[in-house]
Structure 1
Amino acid sequence: MTETDGARIEAHDVWRRYGHGKRTFDAVRGVSLTVHPGELFALLGTNGAGKTSTVELLEGLAVPHRGRIRLFGDLDPVTDRARIRPRTGAMLQEGGFISHLTVRETVEMWAQLTSRPRPVDQALELAGLPHRTDVMVQNLSGGERRRLDLAVATLSHPEVLFLDEPTAGMDAEGRHATWQLIRDLRERGTTVLLTTHYLEEAESLADRLAIMHRGRIAASGTVSQIVADHPSTLSFGLTGRSVHDLPVDGTAVEHNGRVTVTTSQLQKDAARLLVWAQEHDVTLDRFTARPASLEQAFIDVATGTDAQRQEEPA
């Protein structure tokens, strides 16, 4: 079996171009990814990284300038849209609802356009909106509109669900409730691809993720795989000793009396430092150990540190 056998979503060397002539801009530049059945795959990136442009290609809302996309094995999201649509759900950044309809009327209208929809009351319950059924859309908060988007996106019991910034505008309670709904859908076998700005969201939900930068995938894998490529840090105040005395394999830098050790062996270097300090009666003031994190990996990608690291000679 190859890596893409049985894939729910497969993209290979996909490009998306805007404009013509001298005004062309490639928002997506050679993106390749595979999402397997029942998997939750997250796309991270700063504003303008190409996340939404990529998702719109996968959904069939635009034709790629170059490359190949397939859903459910061999279906093209554009030419086979009629066969794909009943099996997928999509939560876009903007729902485009009619402002003077109520929440219930909105879901009822979409249910009439959906093959084998779940009951309206069930959809509203799942999205946490049963207490807002008679409220007009124009009077909903931003977070409540996102919940309404989610209610509509999950009406058809989708096999594949696209979620573009699903918790944007939600308060902490609404965000965590939405996370639980997404987990429940995945446990029932739904394959989910989501974009998000929230690193905590990706860490909490994703089986695998990719970090996009300037239209490309700069890093991908599980959280642990991505984090493994980034160093941990030790930090402490040091007086009466030089950084050259420190028994660490990592790189030690002193600034304003405080030392930062960058290391790929956090536990070993931390243990060595503490034993050395005990034996030499040295105080490591406000000693802290910080493991590598998704946040640091994201920052390195966003600031171009990863690209610089790749270009440096071995």
Structure 2
Amino acid sequence: MADPVCIAIEDVSKRYASAQENSLSDISLNISKSDVYGLLGPNGAGKTSLISILCGIIPPTSGEVTYYLDGQAVSNRARKQLIGFVPQEYAFYQELTPRQNLDYFGALYNMPSGKLRERREHLLEVLGLGKAADRKVGTFSGGMKRRVNLAIGIIHEPQILFLDEPTVGVDVQSRNAIIRYLELLNEQGTTIIYTSHHLSEAEAFCRHIALIDHGKVIAEGAMENLKAVHQVPSLHDLFIKLTGEEYRD
């Protein structure tokens, strides 16, 4: 039996106030509980706008996004407790330590102090930050900063996790460690919505994808099915076949 839908996106469009054209046009997708779902596309395709709408950061111009928990639609307020967001930009205080950052962001979610302390120490350990837990984050390497970014996004144990380029600019070891931990979260039931320009990483990580270009969905479905339908051996080849080879700025 198929997993139940946890996010239903219905005819979502977005046009910014100063724009002449839509950034998104009539996007309709269903994301299933416990999936790893890739939102992929060239620069300027509309991925960031869509993720911002799904996270409630910006409103759509038209259309609806509905979240479901145990088959029941949830309110916008309840949605905020369900989701975690790990942005491409660093979203922490450079002058604070990892421990202090996690305490601060955990408090924003009204986590009980005992639970927050337990969760904080667990994440510091599993993400390899324990020995640096009391150093200022501004002194960290890129890979360590990415792991702090991830820890903050999941401190409250979200059921749905949004990842925007979670491994950009990091070394191979950090990338592997981050992906392994994300796979573990998914095995434990966390739904993951992911975007990246690392297509080989996306191909290995995602089970379903939506390929977006010029604000529209141009392909959607199970990774292996899409490669078979378009008769290509890899996600990279699918991407180039459907979006072309011209420069994107």
- Offset from partner CA, 1:123-181 (integer Å, 9 cap, x none): 21233322321221222223322211110111111111111111111111111111111
Cα separation, 2, equivalents of 1:175 and 1:213: 26
**What is the deviation of 1:304?**
7.6
Q: 2:63 — aligned with what?
A: 67
Residue 84 of structure 2 aligns to which amino acid in structure 1? Answer: G
1:45-65 Cα shifts (integer Å, max 9, x gaps): 111111111111011111100
Matches of 2:5 and 2:231, distance apart in 1? 33
SS of alignment partner, residue 210 of structure 1:
strand
Work out whether residues 230 and 296 of structure 1, in 8 Å CA contact, stay in contact via their aligned partners in 2: no
Who is 1:49 aligned against?
45
SS across alignment from 1:8: strand
Q: Is the 8 A contact 1:100 1:136 kept in 2?
A: yes
Within 5 Å, which residues of 2 pair with 1:1-314? 6-20=4-18, 23-72=19-68, 73-75=72-74, 80-116=75-111, 117=116, 119-231=119-231, 292-303=233-244
Contact residue 17 and residue 27 of structure 1 kept, 8 A: yes
Code of the aligned partner of 1:104: R
Shift of 1:82: 2.2
Deviates more, 1:292-301 or 1:54-63: 292-301
Structure 2: where are the runs of 5+ without partners?
A: none
Conserved? CA contact 2:91–2:149, under 8 Å:
no
**Equivalent residue of 1:93, what SS?**
coil
Q: Does the 8 Å CA contact 1:41/1:208 hold for their aligned counterparts?
A: yes
- Whichever residue aligns with residue 212 of structure 2, its letter is M
Matched residue SS, 2:5: coil
Cα pair 2:83 2:160 within 8 Å, conserved: yes
Letter in 2 for 1:173: Q
- Unpaired segments of 5 or more residues in structure 1? 233-291, 306-314
Instruction: Provide the rounded CA distance (Å) in 1 between the counterparts of 2:41 and 2:234.
Output: 15
Amino acid at match of 1:34: N
CA distance in 2, matches of 1:9, 1:52: 17
Deviation at 1:115, TM superposition (A): 4.0
Q: Quote the Cα distance in structure 1 between the aligned partners of 2:231 and 2:31.
A: 28
> Structure 1 counterpart of 2:43, which letter?
N
Runs of at least 4 residues of structure 1 off by over 3 A?
A: 115-118
SS of 1:18's equivalent?
A: coil
